């Protein structure tokens, strides 16, 4: 979550949308084992946000 939030805010995303982005990052990452391998790509996060 924290990494997703920091990444979104660094890109200039509005705070509420940045939290939404971070939740999507966290939601994807908890479905995968490991640390670095569990990090989703930007495309995966955007797809989740677009499709709900």
Residue-wise pLDDT tens digits, 2-31: 999 999 999 999 999 999 999 999 999 999
Helix axes 15-29, 2-10, angle to 10 degrees: 140
Length of the chain: 52
**Tokens matching residue 9:** 């805010």
Distance separating alpha carbons of residues 8 and 28, to the nearest angstrom: 16
- Report whether pLDDT(34) > 90: yes
Sequence-distant (6+) residues with CB within 8 A of 17 are 8
Q: Does residue 52 carry a pLDDT above 90?
A: no
Q: Say if CB 26 and CB 32 are below 8 A apart.
A: no
Where are the domains positioned within the chain?
Answer: 2-51
Above 90 in pLDDT, residue 39? yes
């Amino acid at each position: 979550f924290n990494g997703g939030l920091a990444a979104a805010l660094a890109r200039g995303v509005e705070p509420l949308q940045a939290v939404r982005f971070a939740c999507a990052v966290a939601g994807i990452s908890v479905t995968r084992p490991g640390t670095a391998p569990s990090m989703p790509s930007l495309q995966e996060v955007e797809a989740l946000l677009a499709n709900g």
